[in-house]
Amino acid sequence: MAYCSTRRAQKRRKDLGFSLVELLVSVIILVVLAAIAVPTLLRAYHAYQLGDAASRLSGIMKTTRFSAVRKNTPISCQVVQNGTTWTIWTDLDGDGTAETTEPQILLSGLVQLLDDSAVPAPNAITAALATGSAPLNTLSAGNATVWYDQRGARGFGTAPSFGGPTTIDVFYLGNPAIPDLEFRAVVLLPGGSVQVWSAGPGGTWQRIN
């Protein structure tokens, strides 16, 4: 008889569902898990945006280089800043205007082009590239023009004769307002190749591509 009463009591509690205390405990656990997970997810999302921006910037430079070789004529990549937005395109017709038929990217929002005062010192980059004969030159954060000649090498000075001083140019990407966000550097070598470097806040640059 006592066994039957216990079974009926358990069945009644089951039919009634969760108690208020059980519900509150469940909510507290969910809040704690969310508080732990959200910062991690935000860091991962910010890192993805930064990596994607650096990849797209590197890609548009390679596209410009390939276009110059394919068309057998010097072609420039134009970088134009408007506030915290940068329009970057392969200027196939040389008119200085970004057109829908030309390869282009837009950098805005979280990821910005930065000057060298906002990023870690590029000592590791200059040491790895031995930049004594070709100094490291920062092209970000304002407007810039990057030339590639018909051989796929960098053109310095004015096309088509060029003749300007040879430099190793770099674009820095990041956002100093986000403390834990890394930085990226897209490095343009005189021969035409493109490298991507990474550094944590206050850290040392390391090549990643």
The tens place of each residue's pLDDT in the chain, 209 residues long, gives 544 555 555 555 555 566 777 777 777 777 776 667 657 777 888 999 999 999 999 999 999 999 999 999 999 999 999 999 999 999 999 999 999 999 999 999 899 999 999 999 999 999 999 867 688 999 998 999 999 999 999 999 888 889 889 999 999 999 999 988 999 999 999 999 999 999 998 899 999 99
- For 122-137, letters b (16+ CB in 10 Å) and e give bebbbeebebeebebb
What is the widest separation between alpha-carbon atoms in the chain? Answer: 105
Domain ranges (residues) in the chain? 2-207
**Considering the entire predicted model, what is its pTM?**
0.83
Q: Is 192 helix (H, G, I), strand (E, B) or coil?
A: coil
Which residues, 6 or more positions from 152, have their beta carbon under 8 angstroms from its beta carbon? Answer: 65, 66, 68, 69, 192
Query: Which CATH superfamily groups domain 2-207?
Result: minor pseudopilin epsh domain (3.55.40.10)
